Amino acid sequence: MKVLCFGSLNIDYVYQVPHFAGGGETLAAASLSRFSGGKGLNQSIALARAGLEVRHAGAVGRDGLFLLEELREAGVRTESVEVLEDARTGHAIIQRTPSGENCILLYGGANRRITREQIDRVLSDFGPGDALALQNETSELPYLAERARERGLTVALNPSPMEDGLLPLLPLANYLLLNEIEAAQLLQGLGKPVPEAGEDLAAALALPSTAVVLTLGSQGSLFADGTRLVRQAAVPVRAVDTTAAGDTYTGFFLAGVLSGRSVEWSMKYASSAAAIAVTRPGAAPSIPSRAEVLAEMGD
Ligand code: RIB
């Protein structure tokens, strides 16, 4: 089984701030750091560190070649990443507060230059038994999800950032991995009531063919597939940077279930990985190795 992660590659500029800047406010940052990021890149690295064979597809400009190095160092194949001469690599402006929370502004850049030709070329190497991890930071997502399902791939969708254009993709996803805010936005877009309790939120989104994994931060995570509900507690830690915690959870959860582990084990694997990630600064550099996560789990 091979995993294709077709998604964003970003340069993350992280500004340490006392609080998120408000409208009309000028706020001084205490520091600026640069990290590798992008939900796609982060999830590729998490999938690879969790033990799967991963190929990343996407696009960067010449200024983002170091992101490909970072992927390769993590064991991710990068031959399906296009290097565009006339585009800048995507980037994210991230405000990070003392409690580790973040607020992200995205510039798509090369991530928005994915073409149908690139998608057809990349997907021709994948078929039944393989899996596709998707987020919403690249162009041509509906085309990609439809072609992948036609070719028999298992599709995992992280609908982030959320927008109504994603609604038709929900039935195409075998796994939908999202947080409470995205879940509420999805239900609002579908014109459905938004329940308050996490269990009801997860159950409201599950379809017979789409299992939902809902992350609730310090409240843990939930799995719902229409027949059962599984709850996993979060591992208590002192967070310094929550950036990429969701990406880490997604990569480790998918690595668990795609390699035949139970949902319960995969949720524990994912929660332990995300708990380690939030104790470290940055996106991709914060993602732990499989050995670190197994040690945290006591497995
Ligand atoms: O999920 C975290 C990621 O979101 C960051 O790395 C940033 O690049 C944005 O894509």
Q: What is the pLDDT of residues 182-201, one digit of tens each?
A: 999 999 999 999 999 999 99
- Measured from the Cα of 247, ligand 1's closest atom is 1
Give the pLDDT mean for 106-132: 98
CA–centroid distance, residue 39 to ligand 1 (Å) = 5
- Measured from the Cα of 41, ligand 1's closest atom is 6
CA-to-CA dists, residue 294 to 250, 254, 268, angstroms: 16, 16, 10
Q: What is the pLDDT of residue 194?
A: 96
Give the pLDDT mean for 145-153: 98
- How many CA atoms lie within 13 Å of 278's alpha carbon, on the beta-carbon side? 23
CA–centroid distance, residue 92 to ligand 1 (Å) = 7
Q: What is the pLDDT of residue 207?
A: 87
CA–centroid distance, residue 260 to ligand 1 (Å) = 28
Given a cut of 90, is residue 299 above it in pLDDT? no
Pick the residue whose CA is nearest to atom 7 on ligand 1: 38
Pick the residue whose CA is nearest to atom 2 on ligand 1: 244
Tell me the C-alpha distance between 207 and 151, whole Å: 21
Give the pLDDT mean for 22-40: 97
Tell me the C-alpha distance between 63 and 7, whole Å: 17
Give the pLDDT mean for 8-37: 98
pLDDT category, 226, cuts 50, 70, 90? confident
Give the pLDDT mean for 77-103: 97
Q: Which residues line ligand 1 (CB under 6 A)?
A: 8, 10, 12, 37-39, 42, 92, 104, 106, 137, 243-244, 246-247, 283
Pick the residue whose CA is nearest to atom 10 on ligand 1: 38
